[in-house]
Structure 1
Amino acid sequence: MLKSIKTGVLAAVLVSTAIFAHAQKKISEGSVTFGVSYSLTPEQEPMASMLPTETKVKFNGNMSRFELQQGPATITVISDNVSFNSLVLIDVPVAQMQIAVKGTKEDYEKEKANDPKFSDFKATGEKQKILTYNAEKYTYKDDKGGTYELWATNDIELPAGLMGQEFKEVKGTPIKFTKFNRGVKSTSTIKALNEEAAGPFTLDVPKGYDLKTMEEVMQMQGGGQ
């Protein structure tokens, strides 16, 4: 019954974290939508159809919420983007199943341990307008020999930690960037940003949910229960 949930949780987590800083217009509450493309290895290709090509993250201060529909399951990820604590909610109505999984900073660091580490961010002076924002191109590299580029704007400032810590050295808000999560490489480009009511969000487990560890959820998925 939990078939595909492991991959669905991975897909949800792919876009649950990032960093925006040092901009002009501060937006502390709203939603941001990204178009997402992936560069998958042959081993990762089987999950291609399960990865979202568009993601919408709602945010309120340092808290964010992302929802993914994966077959019969609705997967919701709520994160504190400063403390790195999180809550994953898995709803499978056809199985009358509601599962909650709490995450800690230690869990986050363990998940990111094998991903490339970015450094050497350099502004190139090249300019481009993305959506309605004036952006500048940056280059950067990782500790495994990879090189990348991103585009950042100083037109807006979103809450610190909204999409992860990878780009904290960038003097602006990344609106097109490449990152990794659990070995999966993705490129995200902003499609919409709305200043609107969102939340408040909480990491408290809702009534009726069965609290489990992620290891227990993966065992259930592997057993096809």
Structure 2
Amino acid sequence: MFKSIKTSVVALILVSSAVLANAQKKMTEGTLTYGLAYKLTEEQKSAMGGQEPPAELKVKFNNGLTKIEMEQGPALIGIVSDNNDKTGLLLIDVPIAQKQFAVKQTKEDVEKVMGAMPKFSDFKATGEKQTVGGFNAEKYTFKDDKGGAHELWATKDVELPNVGSQNYFPGLNAFPVKYTLVQRGIETTTTLKSITEGKVGPISKEVPTGYEVVTMEDLAKMQGGGE
């Protein structure tokens, strides 16, 4: 049963959550909803064992802590990120197998994920406008550290301190609402659907009682060493 939980899908979401969470670290409390679209090769589809990556992610945030909750196959997955000290926690609950696992992410783990991503610069507003997620957005062009050209949509309608994924899009000076990136070899387009302010309750980064602490490598071994 556990073999149906693909660590490749989980790893992709961990990368996505790192980018999303970094953008929200100064917001007070609420929920962000993102739509995700993927361009998958046949090989990538095969590696995921027929499982589709999530088409939507809801990110709860509260005073520097964010949490993503999703289902993947038989598992309930929670990803908690502490954007103040750059650490995280992955929780996997498999009710049908009565198994619960927790993977702690250290600051070094998070830095490794972010460090493996391209570095972007030279952001330029184009003047082209459209509405994204209910906000007035403008198209920006930018470059990566290998000379590649990219574009994204960002808004200045939302006043959120230290956002716009400043650690990921330094110098953008706007909040990104739609962008396409290649993460773990998979081209992913992320689009903001909505931002809802409101109470989401406390978010804990402690390992819940009953969860077995393991590593990502342990998870891969449990499913036969595959990704």
Q: Structure 2 vs 1, CA of residues 161 and 64 (structure 1 numbering), >3 Å: closer, same or farther?
A: farther
Q: 1:20 touches 1:172 (CA, 8 Å); kept in 2?
A: no
Q: Which residue of 2 aligns with 1:37?
A: 37
Matches within 5 A, 1:3-42: 3=3, 4-17=5-18, 18=20, 19-20=22-23, 27-42=27-42
Q: In structure 2, what is the equivalent of residue 129 of structure 1? A: 131
Tell me if 1:205 matches 2:207.
yes
* TM-superposition CA deviations, 1:55-75 (whole Å, max 9, x none): 111111211100121111111
Which amino acid is 2:96 matched to? V
Deviation of the 1:161 alpha carbon: 6.2
Alignment of 1:187 onto 2:189: yes
Paired-residue identity, % = 49
CA distance in 2 between counterparts of 1:203 and 1:180 reads 28
Equivalence for 1:74: 76
2:53 aligns with: 51
- Secondary structure, in 3 states, of the residue corresponding to 2:223? helix
1:162 CA drift (Å): 8.5
Hey, what does 1:174 align to over in structure 2? 176
Aligned partners of 1:41, 1:143: CA distance in 2, in Å? 25
- Unaligned 5+ residue runs, structure 1? none
For each residue in 1:36-80, what CA deviation from the matched residue of structure 2 results, as whole angstroms up to 9, or x when unmatched?
A: 111334532333742111111111121110012111111110001
Gap regions ≥5 residues in structure 2: none
One-letter code of the match for 1:72?
P
When residues 161 and 85 of structure 1 are mapped into structure 2, their CA distance, relative to the original with a 3 A threshold, is farther
Given the superposition, is the C-alpha separation of residues 113 and 196 from structure 1 closer, same or farther in structure 2, using an over 3 Å criterion? same
Per mean C-alpha deviation after superposition, the further-off stretch among 197-206 and 107-116 is 107-116
Q: Which moved more, 1:202-211 or 1:120-129?
A: 120-129
1:2-28 superposed Cα distances (whole Å, 9 cap, x missing partner) = 22231341243143133548xxxx952
- Tell me the C-alpha RMSD between the 2 structures: 2.5
Q: Deviations over 1:158-207 (max 9, x none)?
A: 46469683123211111111233323221111112111111321211111
Cα 1:20/1:209, change in 2 over 3 Å = closer
Alignment length (residue pairs): 220
Question: Residue 2 of structure 1 corresponds to which residue in structure 2?
Answer: 2
Change (3 A) 1:36 1:139: same
Q: What residue in structure 2 maps to residue 141 of structure 1?
A: 143
- The secondary structure found in structure 1 opposite 2:67 is strand
* TM-score of the superposed pair, with normalisation by structure 1: 0.86
* Distance change >3 Å, CA 219–CA 8, structure 1 → 2: same
SS in 2 for 1:111: helix
SS in 2 for 1:15: helix
Deviation at 1:143, TM superposition (A): 2.4
Amino acid in the other structure paired with 2:207: V
Which string of whole-angstrom CA distances, capped at 9 and with x for unpartnered residues, describes residues 195-220 of structure 1?
11113212111111111122112211
The residue identity in structure 2 corresponding to 1:128 is Q
Alpha-carbon distance in 1 for matches of 2:164, 2:153: 17
Report how far residue 139 of structure 1 moved: 0.8
